[in-house]
């Protein structure tokens, strides 16, 4: 999805206002969050944007609502380098922002070859969420 389509989609989400940060999505206390970061082609923007997203979730007080996180999930051919820098940036954010890996399951599909485990966990989390909301 290109950035303009994503911005238009974000406009349709329920939003709250924050005096310093402008509009923010509403996340209720019983909501759970799943996140995926492609990490394709070892792009520098993924290496920087993924820990930034984790920092935003933590700052908003939602880190314990993040129950599923996977990264580097874009299939690449064997001749391409594995996105180890992206993995390292995610691990740094987990440590820096104090994510509890008992609450949030983190999966690296490329580097750690966790394709099946990530998919199974995402399905399990979606099925168990049970609050009926899909944003």
> 58-115, pLDDT tens digit by residue?
999 999 999 999 998 877 777 677 778 888 999 999 999 999 998 899 999 887 888 8
Mean pLDDT, to the nearest integer, of 21-26? 62
The structure tokens 């920092």 sit at 55
**Averaged pLDDT score across all residues of the chain:** 78
How far CA 7 is from CA of 11, 13, 88, in Å, comes to 6, 10, 28
Give pTM, 2 decimals. Answer: 0.72
Round to whole Å and give the CA distance between 120 and 34. Answer: 13
Alpha helices by DSSP H, listed for 13-114, are: 44-59, 84-96
| Distant-in-sequence, close-in-space partners of 129: CB < 8 Å, separation ≥ 6 | 32
């Amino acid at each position: 999805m290109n950035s303009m389509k994503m911005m238009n989609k974000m406009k349709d989400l329920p939003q709250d206002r924050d005096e310093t940060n402008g509009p923010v999505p509403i996340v209720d206390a019983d909501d759970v969050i799943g996140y995926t970061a492609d990490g394709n082609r070892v792009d520098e923007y993924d290496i920087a944007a993924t820990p930034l997203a984790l920092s935003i979730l933590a700052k908003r007080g939602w880190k314990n609502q993040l129950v599923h996180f996977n990264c580097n999930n874009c299939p690449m051919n064997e001749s391409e380098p594995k996105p180890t820098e992206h993995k390292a940036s995610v691990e740094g954010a987990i440590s820096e922002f104090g994510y509890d890996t008992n609450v949030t399951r983190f999966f690296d599909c490329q580097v750690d070859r966790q394709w099946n485990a990530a998919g199974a966990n995402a399905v399990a989390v979606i099925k168990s969420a049970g609050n009926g909301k899909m944003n």
